[in-house]
Amino acid sequence: MSEPLKSNNAYSIADPTEFSRNMMKVAGQSQRLITDFLKNQAKSGSNGPTDPLGLGQTFVDFLGHAMRNPGHLVEANFKLWQSYMNLWHHTTQRMLGQQTDPVIEPSSSDKRFKDKDWSENQIFDFIKQSYLLTARWMQETVADVKGVDDHTRKKVEFYTKQFADALSPSNFLFTNPEVLRTTLQSNGENLVKGLNNLLIDLERGKGQLAIRQTDMEYFEVGRNLALTPAKIVYQNELMQLIQYMPTTEEQYEKPLLIFPPWINKYYILDLGEKNSFVKWATSRGYTVFVVSWVNPDAKLAQKTFEDYMRQGIFEALDAVEKATGVKEINTIGYCIGGTLLSATLAYMAAKGDKRISSATFFAAQADFSEAGDLQVFIDDDQLKNMEDQMTAAGGYLDGAKMATTFNMLRSNDLIWSFVINNYLLGRDPMRFDLLYWNADTTRMPIHMHMFYLREFYRENNLAKGKLMMAGEKLDLGKVKIPIFLQSSKEDHIAPYKSVYKSSKLFKGPVTFMMAGSGHIAGVINHPDAKKYQHWINDKVPERVEEWIATSTEHPGSWWPYWDKWLAKLSGEKVLSRTPGDRKLKVIEDAPGTYAKMK
């Protein structure tokens, strides 16, 4: 029989006197927290819309549809009542010492309820199941409302999930067994430390909560991140070009040029010794170049998507040719860097420019018709509010706002888990290079970013063949070079269904591959780690479901599979090139000035 809370178990106060002292400290810190918050609110005033996401009107419209069918709401409430009755019956049986199956269980990937007392303790088990029943009821009820347009439905479903996630009992002191035990056993020291962490994060965010996901003081680009030997060999106002030192006596004739996303820094490809993609690529005999985008400020606010093509891709291609003497170049585009590369390939095809001989896409979309939850943020009202905020800020979107949007896509992992760890448990953030990179945000110039959101996410004009750039209507059907599409099974930013659609847009030979994990770990998965898996298929049928059904699963990293594909397209082996040995001189050591810009 499982045990309820008792005074002589782990839920007893260790030292009542010390506990009282710490509660006094908590009260003092809370008072300071409230005072500082009110001061910051007074300083900031009320500039900007009170409802920038347009949630108020969205839910009003949605509830209007729901009320047209009151029978549906009555039935939904009756089902919820039945679920509660089943849960009460289950709990009563447990209290009587009987074994009974749970009414509802969290998914195997849900990390919120891993503590043993969520299952073994009757009270916490009841709290957990009651929450899961309510959360499921909320989301199912919203999903079943008839007559709602797709965008409104997706928006309501997304924010209903955000609301349900925020109300999870794991997020509160008295309903989280681990937090409650820690509080009682440490005499409240965790709450004192947690409030101090909260105050530090508010000061970092200048009144806005800037949750630390990792130890921000431990990591430094160029000291313990981005250490693969390389040089900056070219730069302009938008990017620096990095050329990596060779690690083999010979290299493939065709160099490899990588365009990372400018939403974050390039060094996701070179985090550390054991997970560096560029270090591994050099060891395979490739001459590797990577674009390191600038972190733009108000001076670059007028830069456009076309500028990123001309000063990013075209000038990098010219520079690589000068550095190697080779005109035909293999390329990689990651995330938005891949979207830019797709558009550029269509433009080059229209112009007869054949300098790019193959393109690999990491988690990159060209067709945005199934772009996932990010589409929730893309409607006319939200885009107009965003544009107004960017104009008021000096012509750019602050990187922290972009990071918050991405974190909301996985709020339990990227928001609430840190609230629990940092503020309720009072622990210091862990040291994790990937999370430091995630927090090392960059700004978005207004014209470039609004063009990207409207033309790609909102209108999907590249996939429709309607996108105009630099005076050309872009047609991906004219792109005939070999294409390699990498996707990830759990990618919440570039869903594999969306990535697969590109296989029908390009008209040359296309290879599609799906990796395990998500947007980052699915890409950055060194073979030595022996993690996850990947699926391959020689055929590219019409639907991704058909591709999956006939694919073959392989353990571990997909990098060697890609290497075999690219090696065949890279020419003969030549003597290795060293940065600065041809027409481009070394400017500075990598990672370079741009990567360190805050």
Q: Are 525 and 491 in contact (CB under 8 A)?
A: no
Distance between CA atoms of residues 460 and 456, nearest Å: 4
Same domain, 489 and 363: yes
Distance between CA atoms of residues 261 and 259, nearest Å: 7
Q: Are 435 and 218 in contact (CB under 8 A)?
A: no
DSSP code of 228?
S
Q: Are 419 and 201 in contact (CB under 8 A)?
A: no
Please check whether residue 86 lies inside any domain of the structure: yes
Same domain, 459 and 372: yes
Distance between CA atoms of residues 255 and 566, nearest Å: 11
Under the phi-then-psi rule, with left for phi > 0, alpha for psi from -120 to 50, and beta for the rest, what region is 325? left
242 SS3 class = strand
Same domain, 327 and 390: yes
445 SS3 class = strand
User: What b/e sequence results for 10-37 when a residue is b if at least 16 CB atoms lie within 10 Å of its CB, and e otherwise?
Assistant: ebeeeeeeebeebeebeeebeeeeeeee
Q: Are 576 and 248 in contact (CB under 8 A)?
A: yes
Q: Using H for helix, E for strand and C for coil, what is the string for 472-497?
A: EECCHHHCCCCEEEEEECCCCCCCHH
Q: Number of helices (H) and strands (E), helices first, in the chain?
A: 22, 17
Same domain, 129 and 258: no
Token reading at 397: 């979107």
Please check whether residue 417 lies inside any domain of the structure: no
Number of domains in the chain: 2
Q: Which of 194, 218, 242 is the last residue of a domain?
A: 194
Same domain, 162 and 238: no
Structural domain containing residue 40: 16-194
Walk across the sheet containing 356-362 and list its strands.
552-555, 533-536, 510-515, 483-488, 356-362, 329-334, 256-259, 288-293, 239-244, 230-235, 588-589
Q: pLDDT tens track of the chain, all 598 residues?
A: 344 444 447 888 888 888 888 888 888 777 777 777 666 666 655 455 556 666 666 666 666 766 677 777 777 788 888 888 989 888 888 888 888 899 999 998 899 999 999 999 999 999 999 999 999 999 988 888 888 888 888 888 899 999 999 999 999 999 999 999 999 999 999 999 999 999 899 888 877 788 999 999 999 999 999 999 999 999 999 999 999 999 999 999 999 999 999 999 999 999 998 999 999 999 999 999 999 999 999 999 999 999 999 999 999 999 999 999 999 999 999 999 999 999 999 999 999 999 999 999 999 999 999 998 889 889 898 999 999 999 999 999 998 888 888 888 889 999 999 999 999 999 999 999 999 999 999 999 999 999 999 999 999 999 999 999 999 999 999 999 999 999 999 999 999 999 999 999 999 999 999 999 999 999 999 999 999 999 999 999 999 999 999 999 999 999 999 999 999 999 999 999 999 999 999 999 999 999 999 9
Please check whether residue 481 lies inside any domain of the structure: yes
Please check whether residue 408 lies inside any domain of the structure: no
Which of 283, 323, 292 is closest to 225 using CA atoms? Answer: 292
Q: Which of 146, 173, 194 is the last residue of a domain?
A: 194
Same domain, 242 and 182: no
Distance between CA atoms of residues 211 and 360, nearest Å: 34
How many CB atoms sit inside 10 A of residue 109's CB?
A: 8
Token reading at 117: 């007392």
Residues serving a catalytic function are 335
Beta bridge partners of 264: 441
CATH number at residue 537: 3.40.50.1820
Q: CA-based diameter of the chain, in Å? A: 83
Residue 5 has what pLDDT?
A: 43
Same domain, 301 and 187: no
Please check whether residue 305 lies inside any domain of the structure: yes
Same domain, 386 and 517: yes
Please check whether residue 355 lies inside any domain of the structure: yes
Residue 116 has what pLDDT?
A: 95
Please check whether residue 128 lies inside any domain of the structure: yes
Give the E-state strand segments of 223-284 in sequence order.
230-235, 239-244, 250-252, 256-259
Residue 29 has what pLDDT?
A: 78
Same domain, 75 and 170: yes
Burial class of 334 by CB neighbour count within 10 A (0 to 12, 13 to 18, 19+): buried
Q: Which of 174, 194, 214 is the last residue of a domain?
A: 194
Please check whether residue 364 lies inside any domain of the structure: yes
